[in-house]
Amino acid sequence: MNTPIHDIRFHLLASRLRVQCELIFGYFQIKEAHRIVVVGGGATGTELAVEIAVEYPDKEVTLIHSGEHLIGPGFTENFQSRLRSILDRYWVRCKLGKPGLILITRT
């Protein structure tokens, strides 16, 4: 007999498996790519760009953000400068102030 608890457990398991499959699929896409573009320079996008650049130093990683400051405007210039030096150290290209974006890829 299915109870609400069993239904919740099933949905949680299905969600977890879906997320794991998406992560595995994303991993293989990154591994096979030559160039990677991360759209969104918030905390998550910036961290992801650096992690990809560290893990795959042979990849060309570009971080595109609609704002003028990564992560957000509430951080000091010193913080922004240190963040940019980290991105520069790992050769992550930054394109700031780019609100509209169309990506065209060629195989």
Question: Side by side, which strands form the sheet with 92-96?
Answer: 35-39, 60-65, 92-96
Measured distance CA(23)–CA(29) in Å, rounded: 10
DSSP-derived 3-state class of residue 93: strand
Assess whether pLDDT exceeds 60 at residue 1: no
For the chain, percent of residues with pLDDT exceeding 90: 33
73/60: higher pLDDT: 60
Per-residue pLDDT, 6: 60
Got the DSSP string for 48-73? Answer: HHHHHHHH-TTSEEEEEESSSSSS-T
Q: What band does 91 get if pLDDT is binned at 50, 70 and 90?
A: very high
pTM metric for this prediction:
0.71
- For residue range 36-68, what is the model confidence (pLDDT) as tens digits? 999 889 998 999 899 899 989 999 999 999 888
Look at residues 64, 68, 76, 67 and name the one whose alpha carbon lies nearest to residue 35. 64
